[in-house]
Structure 1
Amino acid sequence: MKNYFLLKICYNELIKMEKLKRLMKGNYLLIIVIVVLITTAINIYWDIKKE
């Protein structure tokens, strides 16, 4: 029973990963834009903190 439970958790995680992959493939540009925005925001924040 315990093995079945672990198997089910692994299976669910795999499905989540597949959904994430599909989402990332569809919104690849969106993810790049978000990453760039976050990096820019962090850089601006550090510049303000330095002064």
Structure 2
Amino acid sequence: MACPPALMNQEDHFVTLLINVNQARFGDHGELLLSAPAGETIRAFPSAPKP
């Protein structure tokens, strides 16, 4: 799929981080924290329930 270069770079960085994840845990507020060996962390919050 073709996207603007900035968006493709963001996706490439995200996928690289996901490939290197070596630890997963939940934070104090219920967020999912994925950590890579170089110290990067991806933080994902749960979505709000639909009414």
Please tell me whether Structure 1 or Structure 2 has the larger radius of gyration of its CA atoms: 1
TM-score normalised by the chain length of structure 2: 0.39
> Of the two structures, which has the highest relative contact order with CA contacts closer than 8 Å and spacing of 6 or more?
2
Q: Which has the higher helix share?
A: 1
TM-score normalised by the chain length of structure 1: 0.39
Q: Which has the higher strand share?
A: 2
